[in-house]
Structure 1
C-alpha cells in the first residue's frame, strides 16, 4: 500500500470510525433488537419448505401416528386448521401456487362444511372459503356456510356447557352444539365473524359474542388467566399436582383471537373486550415459555412431558408476533419470546420440510415423539411465519 495513504488512514482512523458509526446509527443497523429478529427470507425458507412438504403429502397419511381417519376427512378440523395457516401464509407471501391450492381445496369440497356442520370442528374449513370468497369477491362460495349458520341461529341451543360423554357417538360430548371446549374458540368464531363481515349481517357477530362470553365465563381461570380444555379438567391435576392447562388448547384460543379480532369493525365496542383478553393471555403465556423457545405441553408443569411441542408453540408464537405487529404488545417486552419461539419451531423442521414434535390428536398433555407430525402443527407454523416475517 502507498505509504502516504497508509499514514493518512492511521492519522484519521478515529474520524473514519466516527463517520461509519454515524452511518450505522442513521440506517438503524445499530439498533440491537433488530439484529435478533429472524431474517424474513430465512423465515420464508422454513415456511415454504414446510408448506410444500405438507401439500405433497395429502394423499396418504401413513406418517400420522394416531387418528388417521380423522386426518383423512377433507372437511374436518385437522385439515381445516392447516388450510387456515396456509391461507395466511399464501396471502402474506402472495405465492400463486399456495393461493391456487386454497381454491382447489374449496372446489374439491364443493365449498361445504363437514357432515356435522353444527359442530365447531366441522366449521373451521369455512374460514378458508370466506378468505377465498373475499379475494374473488364471490359470495356464492360461502352460501353453503351461510345456510348452515342460519339453521343454527333458527334452532339455537341453550344447554349447559357441562362436558358429558355423548352416547350417540355424534361428538365427544353432549354439549358440543355449543363451544364447551376451548379448541372450539379457534374453530368457529373467526368463521362466523368472517361471514358476518362479508355479508354485512350483524346476527353472526352477535352470536359469536354471546357464545364466546359463555365459554369465557365457564372455562377461563381468572387466577392463571388460561383456559381449561373443558369442564372435566377443573379438578384434575398433573402428576406433579399442578392445574392442567393444555398448551395446544390455550394455543387454539390465543391464535383464534387475532383471527376473530381482525373481523370485528374498528368502531365496534366489543373489539376491545377481545383485545383485552388477548393481552391478558399474552402476559401469562410469556412467563411460561421455556428457554429453548417451546411452551411445555402442560403449561404449569414443564416436567411432566419435558420435550419440545410445536403445535402449541406455533400458535403462541403467531399470537405474540401478531400482537407486536398490531400495537397490542410491547416489542421490547415480547420480541425475545417471539424470537426464541420461532427459532425453536424452525429447528423442528427437517431438511425435507417435515415438522416434528407435534403432539398428536388429544384433549390434554400427552407423550410426544420427535417424528410426530400433524397438519394442524404445520398450520400453526405457517401462521407464525406470516407474522414473524413482518417484524
Structure 2
C-alpha cells in the first residue's frame, strides 16, 4: 500500500514529465544521427561553392535548394557548434559575396531565400558586408508595391523568414508589415479562393490546383512538401517576431489549424504521403514533407503552442520511422522526393532513389532532428 501511495504521489507531482522524458529519443543517438547524415552530405560535396548540373542546366550554389541545406546546417550548429560547420557556411556565403542569385533586384523568392541564412550568419559574425546585399534586396521589396509575388506556396518559406529576421535585427516594423501583406495575399486572394483552404486546414500549392482540380480519388490536391514549406515558414517567423507583433496571433492560428490537419493525415508507419488526401496517388513514404512536419510540431510542443500529450506521439512516431526506415548506414537519406510541385514529380521515391538535388532533403532532415534534440 505504501509503495502504491508513493507511486501515485510521484505521478501527481511530475510523473507525466517522467513518462514524456522516457518516450523521447536519446539525445546522443539523435545527435549522432544528425552528424552522420550531415557528414555524408559534406563528404560528397566538399566544395560548397560548386554549382550543380541538374536537368540540363547549371545551377548556382546559392539557389533555394542549397539555402534549405544551410538552414538545417545552422540548426545543427546551434546544438553542436562544430567549427567545420561554421566554416562550411561562411565559405559558401563569402564565395557568393553574400549576394542573391540574379542580384539584389531579384523579386523571385527562390533567388533571395539565401538572405535568411546570411542574416543568421551575420548574427554569428557581425560583419557589415554580410548584410549589405540582403538588406538592399529586402528594402527594394519593401519599398515597391507588389504583394502578389508569392504565388506558389513554397515561396512563403523561401521568402517570409528573411523579412522576419531582418525586422528583428533592425527593429523596423516595415519588414513585418510587408511580409504580412505578401502572406495575406497568397493566403486569401491569390487565384480564385486564396491558397489556404481553412475548412481543410491545408494549402493548395498554386492556382493550378484550385478546385475544380481533383486528385484521382476525388479529393483536393494537397502536396505534402508544399504544406511543409508553409508550416516551417510559420515556425521560422514565430521564432523571430516579437510577442506584441500585430499579426502574431494570425500566424499562430494558421499554425494551429495546419497542425490539426497534418496530424489527421499521418500514415500508420509514421510518415506522410506526398498527396495528403489521396494516399494512393504516388503513395508511399516521403521524407521531406515528413521532416518539415516533425520540425514544426516539435517546435510547437517545445514552445507551448501544441498540447504535448496530443502531439508528442505523432512527432515521435514520425521521427523514429525516419531514422529507422530512411537513414542509410552511411548517412544517405532515402525516400526524398525530388524537386517539383505535386505528387507525380520527382518520382520514384524509394529507399534507394536519388533526388535530382541532394541538398534540400538533408536540410529538412537536419531541421527536424535539431528540434527533436531540443525536446525535454
8 Å Cα contact 2:336/2:361 also seen in 1: yes
Name 1:233's counterpart in structure 2: 209
- Is the counterpart of residue 222 in structure 1 residue 203 in structure 2? no
What is the RMSD of the two structures over their aligned residues, measured on CA atoms? 2.5
When normalised by structure 1's length, the TM-score is 0.85
Q: 1:332 aligns with which of 309, 318, 343?
A: 309
Name 1:165's counterpart in structure 2: none
- Is the counterpart of residue 245 in structure 1 residue 222 in structure 2? yes
Name 1:129's counterpart in structure 2: 118
Q: 1:96 aligns with which of 83, 93, 114?
A: 83
* Paired residues for 1:38-187 under 5 Å: 38-58=25-45, 67=55, 69=57, 72-115=59-102, 117-157=106-146, 178-187=149-158
Q: 1:387 aligns with which of 368, 371, 376?
A: 371
Which region of structure 1 is more displaced relative to structure 2, 19-28 or 226-235?
19-28
Query: Per-residue deviation at 1:269?
Result: 2.6
Name 1:188's counterpart in structure 2: 159
User: Partner of 1:188: helix, strand, or coil?
Assistant: helix
* Paired residues for 1:291-330 under 5 Å: 291-330=268-307
User: Partner of 2:374: helix, strand, or coil?
Assistant: coil
Query: Per-residue deviation at 1:133?
Result: 0.5
- Is the counterpart of residue 210 in structure 1 residue 199 in structure 2? no
Query: Per-residue deviation at 1:323?
Result: 0.1
Moved over 6 A (4+): 17-27
Measure, in 2, the Cα distance between the counterparts of 1:332 and 1:29.
9
8 Å Cα contact 2:271/2:321 also seen in 1: yes
Unmatched 5+ stretches in structure 1: 1-13, 162-177
Unmatched 5+ stretches in structure 2: 189-193
8 Å Cα contact 2:41/2:359 also seen in 1: yes
- Is the counterpart of residue 364 in structure 1 residue 342 in structure 2? yes
Q: What per-residue deviation string (whole Å, max 9, x for no partner) do you get for residues 349-371 of structure 1?
A: 11111111100110101232322
Query: Per-residue deviation at 1:257?
Result: 0.8
8 Å Cα contact 1:120/1:188 also seen in 2: yes
Measure, in 2, the Cα distance between the counterparts of 1:30 and 1:321.
16
When normalised by structure 2's length, the TM-score is 0.88
8 Å Cα contact 1:196/1:205 also seen in 2: yes
Q: What per-residue deviation string (whole Å, max 9, x for no partner) do you get for residues 155-208 of structure 1?
A: 3325xx5xxxxxxxxxxxxxxxx1011000100110111122212222111110
Relative distance call for 1:19 and 1:101 in structure 2 (3 A) is: farther
Measure, in 1, the Cα distance between the counterparts of 2:255 and 2:97.
34
Query: Per-residue deviation at 1:28?
Result: 5.4
**How many aligned positions are there?**
356
